[in-house]
């Protein structure tokens, strides 16, 4: 990778965002805020995941570009408000990665990925402080993750504290217990109880997926795709119609 070329490419993309937001730019882009852009950012992140799963390098490159564009867009919004700029974003993550890898950039000695993960959490806990009610390793899991993905991450973190969660028979017992409770609640038409038990059952199934080496979010994504393919027996392809109001990095 040519460093000069990289720096110029980032500057050119940053200038493009400035142009779109400027007086002679795009009326739609000028009206955007953090709140309106954040859902596009999430959508772009999932499009990157989808491209990775499909294994098309050209598509991965394209979607990474879209995601980068929205990151620069949000950085520009913050700069307009005098909060921070893109340089601060880049320098902040660089310093964070150096700080959280003392075995690479300092004198710490670590042998295994598990030790790296434990060290990472301990450093993160020191940086952010601990909650009085929630274990710090669990508190660090972002609340805005999709629910199944967050369940997977919470269970992963909890495993570092409670070895009981590793026992497959315990997981099965809880899933079966929740399923029986659900049958009872449905028979009684207790809507509130049905909702609560469904949540417990989904969490238990996420734990079961993890126990067998899967991520519930990825498993469900696969089933969603299978449903789409099976629901369209004629094989007709639905073309993706771009939203003209949506800021895009690609032409």
**Structure confidence at residue 171 as a pLDDT band (50, 70, 90):** confident
Q: For 39-60, how does the pLDDT look when each residue is reduced to its tens digit (9 = 90+)?
A: 888 889 888 988 888 878 999 9
- Look at 40 and 243; give whichever has higher pLDDT: 40
Q: Give the Cα separation of 73 and 70 in Å (integer).
A: 5
Average pLDDT over the chain reads: 83
Q: How far is CA 21 from CA 18, 79, 140, 245, in A?
A: 5, 12, 34, 14
Domains plus CATH for the chain?
Answer: 3-99 (1.10.287.1080), 141-231 (1.10.287.1080)
Closest CA to 152 of 194, 191, 208, 87: 208
Evaluate whether 73 touches 17 at the Cβ level (below 8 Å): yes
- 161 vs 112: CA distance, rounded Å: 18
Report which of residues 108 and 77 the model is more confident about. 77
How many angstroms separate the CA atoms of 82 and 88, rounded? Answer: 12
Percent of the chain with pLDDT over 90: 42
Q: What tens digit of pLDDT does each residue of 12-23 get?
A: 999 999 999 999
pLDDT band at 245 (very low <50, low <70, confident <90, very high): very low
Residue 250 pLDDT grade (very low, low, confident, very high; cuts 50, 70, 90): very low
When comparing pLDDT for 241 and 87, which is higher?
87
Q: Over the stretch 176-209, which tens digit does the pLDDT of each residue have?
A: 999 999 999 999 999 999 999 999 999 989 888 8
Task: Please answer whether residues 224 and 195 qualify as being in contact, where contact means their C-beta atoms are separated by less than 8 angstroms.
Answer: no
End-to-end CA distance of the chain: 24
The predicted structure's pLDDT at residue 244: 42
Q: Which pTM does this prediction carry?
A: 0.61
């Amino acid at each position: 990778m040519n460093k000069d070329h990289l720096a110029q490419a980032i500057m050119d993309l940053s200038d493009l965002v400035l142009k779109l937001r400027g007086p002679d730019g795009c009326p739609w882009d000028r009206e955007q805020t953090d709140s309106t852009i954040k859902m596009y950012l999430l959508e772009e992140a999932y499009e990157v995941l989808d491209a990775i799963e499909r294994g098309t390098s050209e598509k991965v490159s394209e979607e990474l570009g879209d995601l980068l564009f929205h990151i620069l867009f949000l950085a520009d919004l913050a700069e307009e408000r005098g909060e921070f700029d893109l340089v601060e974003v880049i320098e902040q993550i660089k310093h964070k990665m150096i700080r959280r890898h003392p075995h690479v950039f300092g004198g710490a000695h670590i042998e295994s990925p598990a030790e790296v993960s434990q060290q990472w959490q301990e450093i993160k806990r020191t940086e952010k402080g601990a909650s009085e009610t929630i274990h710090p390793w669990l508190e660090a899991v972002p609340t805005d993750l999709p629910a199944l993905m967050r369940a997977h991450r919470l269970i992963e973190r909890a495993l570092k504290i409670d070895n009981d969660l590793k026992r497959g028979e315990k997981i099965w017992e809880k899933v079966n217990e929740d399923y029986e409770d659900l049958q009872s609640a449905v028979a009684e038409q207790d809507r509130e109880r049905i909702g609560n038990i469904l949540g417990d059952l989904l969490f238990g199934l996420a734990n079961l997926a993890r126990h067998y080496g899967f991520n519930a979010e990825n498993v469900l994504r696969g089933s969603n795709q299978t449903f789409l393919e099976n629901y369209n027996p004629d094989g007709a392809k639905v073309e993706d119609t771009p939203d003209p109001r949506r800021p895009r990095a690609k032409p």
